[in-house]
Homo-oligomer: A and B are copies of this chain.
Amino acid sequence: MTGKKKMSIDCFHCMSRKQSLMGTLKDEELACMNEHKSSVNYKKGQTLFYEGTRPMGLFCINGGKVKVFKMGSQGKEQIIRLAKPGEFLGYRALLGEEFYAASATVIEDANICFIPKFDFLEILNRNPNFYKNIVQSICHELGVLEDRFSDLAQKSVRERLAANLLMLKESYGMEGDDSTLIDIALSREDLANIVGTATETVIRLLSEFKKDGLILFEGKRIRVLDAKALAKEADFYA
């Protein structure tokens, strides 16, 4: 359980950069970011930051997967969102000048860059377009969360599970040919903490969906066989 090790990857050659918000950065800013960033390897289970602590900088996922969650009073996690390569973590707290509202831990071994707060804000100030993109992304996230909030209040567990499987397929479906395989290793418990239900309930519903031919298990991964039927289960276009 050690795992943290410096890497010598630079922002110019970072594969995840292109599909990230940093796509718009000019060479100069990228150089600045590159100069001040540090890159660390994390093992599954390691924590990037804890709810209630002060943000010191921005995390940028280069490889691997991370869950962002709040701990409920009964010790049950509520997963707010998942993050994958190309995504930032911690900018909401930075720009809002608040403590972290949630914790972030690695669910698949990851390589993650860290840009100190000062340097990040500096780059933001120098690049109005980059700033605008970040703001736009936060606004979008707020809209998405409003949707999910509404669903959580109004849909049944079964509907929410179906809806979340479809969302996961969108986010983690593999490129091209294998777009039906959800390429993220979530435990049943994590899935329950996304959907907002008990682990046993997720297990039961998953096996129903499987029995009905909507999904299939492939190791730790789930394959969506019938997205149409799942959408119906999710009460989409109702």
Among B92, B147, B196, which residue has its beta carbon within 8 angstroms of that of A153? B196
Considering only CB atoms and an 8 Å cut-off, how many residues of chain A contact the other chain? 36
B78 touches A136 (CB 8 A): no
Q: Is A203 an interface residue (CB 8 A)?
A: no
Of the residues B72, B73, B98, B196, contact of A143 by C-beta under 8 Å: B98
Does A148 sit at the interface, judged by CB under 8 A?
yes
| Option from B80, B136, B138 in Cβ contact (under 8 Å) with A139 | B138
Q: Is A96 an interface residue (CB 8 A)?
A: yes
Contact between B96 and A146 (Cβ–Cβ < 8 Å)? no
Q: Would you call A145 an interface residue if the criterion is a C-beta within 8 Å of the partner chain's C-beta atoms?
A: yes
What distance in Å separates the Cβ of A4 from its nearest Cβ neighbour in chain B? 27
| Cβ proximity bits A75-115 to B, threshold 8 Å, 1 near / 0 not | 01010100000000000110111100110000000000000
Complex: chain B residue closest to A147, CB-CB: B101
- Complex alpha-carbon distance, A143 and B99, angstroms: 10
Q: Are B238 and A73 in contact (CB under 8 A)?
A: yes
Q: Is the CB of B153 within 8 A of A96?
A: no
| A146-B69 Cα distance, complex, nearest whole Å | 9
